[in-house]
Amino acid sequence: MKVTVAAIAQSCGLSTATVDRALNNRPGISAANRQRVMEAAQRLGYLPTAGAVPLPSRPAALEFFLPIRQNVFMGELADHIRAYASHMPLVASCRIHDLDDISPASLQTAVDDLGLQTKGVGVIAVDHPRTRGVMQRMADAGIRLITIASDVPAAPRSAYVGLDNRAAGRTAALLMGRLLRGLSGSIAIVTGSRSYRGHEEREMGFRAVLGEDFPELAVTTSVDINEDGEASYAETQMLLREQPGLLGIYCVGAGRFGVARALKERTAAPKPVFICHDLTPLTRGYLVDDLADVVIDQNARLTAEQSVIQLLGSIASSEPVIPNRYIEPRLIFRENIPAQ
């Protein structure tokens, strides 16, 4: 039976108007009454849950630290976090910090502006001792942490939200091998940054499946473009020039734009199979124009929603770590591009 606002009002002894204000995080209600409403709503099963993870009984201030300017996916993720958090009664406020770059120093500088009332923080960060130190200091201050898209498992985070990146890399290799079935030759890997554990895991998974199932396909080149699209363009141009028979390119993270641009300018045929990650307006175009063959998407909207829910769940939980909820990858081809 669906729990109603009237039932919550009766349970906590307040008016339905007061309950409505509390549930929708509107002004005009005392902190004590807001807490009474949230506790009653949770007790009656009105509030959402993430699986078996309970959510807090009062709104919490959240902050996210994302390298938005690094690529389009990060920007879309930030937009979805803002939109979802704005409709969640249990989110008192949501600040998103755009990191200058992926370095630990940028994260440290941004964290210095952390709000005093913040209860939970989500980060996309490289796995580095300085990063882990920054996260440890936040945890020591009583802040709950989650990692997004790329994990930092040795840090004191409560959960990771994102793909199983090793499985994503293995999936890319399976696709590459089957699309090139019967052919023998060279494959190139373009990584956004191996400083991201997720990118490293994707590359490892990719290499493992090629070696196990498609030994006739060899990774002859692997370049790290440090999340720089222009570097990706230059490296891909050089690859195509020096290896005219290149069969495939796997772009592990950022750098898709540079690879696609170089492929578009290529006049020789046939085109290498191109597999990349994240469905964005740009990669939609690559699929339509037959520059990209497959996009392995981690669904920015779902990742954003789960990030907010898992962060709220970690705040409510008495356990230091809550169960991971991997985002299931979507395989997007030209003929099944979802509507925007």
pLDDT digits (tens, 9 = 90+) for 126-157: 999 999 999 999 999 999 999 999 999 999 99
Strands (E) across the chain are located at: 60-66, 91-98, 118-123, 144-148, 159-162, 185-191, 217-224, 248-251, 273-277, 294-297, 325-326, 330-332
Q: What percent of the chain has pLDDT over 70?
A: 95
- Residue 12: predicted pLDDT: 85
pLDDT for residue 72 is more than 90: no
**Mean pLDDT for all residues in the chain:** 89
Secondary structure class of 272 (helix, strand, coil) = coil
How confident is residue 96, by pLDDT bands cut at 50, 70 and 90? very high
| pTM, 2 dp | 0.82
Count of CA atoms in the C-beta half-sphere (13 A) of 214: 27
Average pLDDT for 32-60: 70
Which of 310, 313, 315 lies closest to 117, judged by CA?
Answer: 315
pLDDT for residue 323 is more than 80: no
Q: What percent of the chain has pLDDT over 90?
A: 66
Strands 330-332 and 294-297, how do they pair? antiparallel
How confident is residue 50, by pLDDT bands cut at 50, 70 and 90? very low
Average pLDDT for 10-28: 80
CA 32 to chain CA mean position, Å: 36
pLDDT digits (tens, 9 = 90+) for 254-301: 889 999 999 999 887 789 999 999 999 999 999 999 999 999 999 999
CA pair distance 287, 72, nearest whole angstrom: 16
Beta-ladder partners of 273: 248
Say which residue, 98 or 38, is predicted with more confidence. 98
How confident is residue 2, by pLDDT bands cut at 50, 70 and 90? low
pLDDT for residue 117 is more than 70: yes
Strands 91-98 and 248-251, how do they pair? unpaired
pLDDT digits (tens, 9 = 90+) for 100-110: 988 999 999 99
Strands (E) across 139-264 are located at: 144-148, 159-162, 185-191, 217-224, 248-251
CA torsion through residues 88, 93, 97, 102, sign: negative
32-41, 236-245, 314-323: range with lowest mean pLDDT: 32-41
- Residue 202: predicted pLDDT: 96
Q: Quick one: CA torsion of 159, 196, 222, 279, rounded to 10 degrees?
A: 60
pLDDT for residue 330 is more than 90: yes
How confident is residue 31, by pLDDT bands cut at 50, 70 and 90? low
